[in-house]
Chain A
Amino acid sequence: MKMIMKNWLRKDISVAVMFLVPSGVGFAMFYLIPFIMGVIYSFMDNTIDGHFVGLDNYRELLASNSFRKAAYNTFYFTAVSVPLMLLLSLGLAILLNKSTYLRKWLRTAYVLPLVVPVASIILIWQMLFDWNGSLNAWLGSFGYARVDWMKTDAARIVVIVVYLWKNMGYNVILFLAGLQQIPKDYYETAQIEGAGRLRQFGNITLVYLTSTMFFVVIMSIINSFKVFRETYLIAGDYPHDSIYMMQHYMNNMFMSMDIQKLTAAATLMFGCILLIVLGMFALERRHRQFME
């Protein structure tokens, strides 16, 4: 029996190659090689017959005001909206996990915004947040002054709201699944031992949701980059300063053919994402060891 097992394992590598080839070839061609090329370009002064210029591109990039603005805004947006997303979707999932009527319908309603196309959102966006829009009309009826939502710092809030509206349902489903995995008798035991609601939440719910949370954070970061679509379509290449993101910056560098700055910015952004992901993997591993 052991012999046969070993034979299978040895054969795995050749089989693996067969299964991986279709994906691997395309992945290398359209993702991996372009990415490596991008990193190399970021150290060159030209994409054709360029010379190695060390960190010059990076120095120039860091000196650029619009890059610093874009980096700050992207960081700010992620740092505010991802935790907010976690909080709200976990809260909703916990409520939805209690006994309610119409649970299936409510769940559908929460996920449906995900499938609403960008273009329709933009129409509604204009209707609500324009200078003459409904939100201002509504605030006006309470005696508040009008806000030019898209041309002041308030634009940040608008973008965060749209992001939350669109992606919350997806995370609610994920958390709901995580919650339903927790055995009910854990809570009963805790109750008998006299643990309060808050202790139960901290020591049971949160602990058992860690791996779900890990996944939700990754998905939320991916989705936070996608808000760019909506922002871009509503406000164009140069939106208000407060919502000028890395994607705007990179897009504009592409349009002005400033390849050096673009690739340097892309490489830096990759570095940051890499750090975040490795950090999260490390946290998760420690958590797993702790659980065992």
Chain B
Amino acid sequence: MPVARVLQKSALTLVLGVIAVMLLFPIVITFTNSLMTEKEININYGPIGQMKEASAGKANPYVNLKLLPDKVSLEQYGKVLLDNPKYLTMFWNSVLMVVPIISGQTVVAALAAYAFSKLRFRGRDPLFLIYVLTMLMPFQVTLVPNYIMADQLGILNSPNAIILPGIFAAFGVFMLRQFMLDIPYAYIEAAKIDGAGHLRIFIQIIIPMIKPGLAALIILLFVDYWNMVEQPLIFLDDPFKQPLSVFLSRINEGERGMAFAASMLYMAPMVMLFLYAESYFIEGVQLSGIKG
């Protein structure tokens, strides 16, 4: 390669690298700060939220944003995991909501997506448009009727009030349909000539072919529901039923000393799943966009 090309390529890599570092900065900070002792955290971040007036006139203390801890310690992790039984309870609460939502929505949505992409029937496209429109609605739009519905079904203050709407959300249908549109009819017709019914075609041909789509859907759903905040605050009164996402958003105030470690532990399953399935995820996301 000519020198000029190498230089150009390096310069571009440098620019993109700087942007990458900026984007990753919050994650790195969370990690390194999770290894600080509680004392160090309090010294560094004590000034957060202090009144302006209190420090007016005097030298105003700034937050001391530090990348590397003075002393590496696992104190925060110990506090979260050993001294705080609530943390594990809520972690488990989160798991018990997220797992049924993901598995339920994936199955239900795949079935519906097959009908929307590979079967022809009257009213198919208008019906699908309705699905897409609800997908674009913020959660608050159907808040009142949903609340009344949950009340009538007797699932208020139970995780089911969150799990059931989660399973039937339109996003999965939308996403998996995009993938199934890419599968040529020829495959299906060939299978039909061999005498396969629709259910067999669905299980044996369609499902294996949309694996990237399923992976992408699972990751996106995981990210979304692992982080949910509004639904539990409205549908669950009992603080012990709350998922970790709600708990963590409150830890910041009183217990800053272990907040970083708690964040790391909370982030870990998502980041690991993401890195494990990244190639699938990217392939999946890309395919979903091409057909538009």
Contacts and interface: CB of A to CB of B under 8 A. Distances in A.
Interface of A: 8-9, 12-13, 15-16, 18-20, 22-24, 26-27, 29-35, 37-38, 41, 47, 92, 95-96, 98-102, 105-124, 126-128, 130-134, 136-137, 140, 146, 148, 165, 168-170, 173-174, 176-178, 181, 210-212, 214-216, 218, 221-222, 225, 228-229, 232-233, 246-247, 250-251, 254, 259, 262-263, 266, 269-270, 273-274, 277, 284
Nearest to A15: B198
B119 A246 contact: no
A207 B202 CA distance: 35
A36 to B, nearest CB: 8
A122 B249 contact: yes
B2 interface: no
Interface in B125-156: 130-149
Nearest to B164: A30
A127 B63 contact: yes
A287 B266 CA distance: 44
Contacts of A102: 13, 17
A131 B53 CA distance: 11
A19 B286 CA distance: 26
B286 A174 contact: yes
A233 B133 contact: no
B112 interface: yes
Contacts, number: 305
B30 interface: yes
Chain B interface main SS type? helix
B108 interface: yes
A263 B292 CA distance: 31
Chain B, interface residues (CB within 8 Å), range: 35 or more
A7 to B, nearest CB: 10
A35 B282 CA distance: 34
B210 interface: no
B26 A37 contact: no
Contacts of A114: 223
A116 to B, nearest CB: 6
B260 interface: yes
Max chain A C-beta neighbours (<10 A), residue from B30, B143, B202, B248: B143
Given A228-B138, A259-B144, A137 B63 contact: yes
Contacts of A8: 192
A177 B290 contact: yes
B292 A29 contact: no
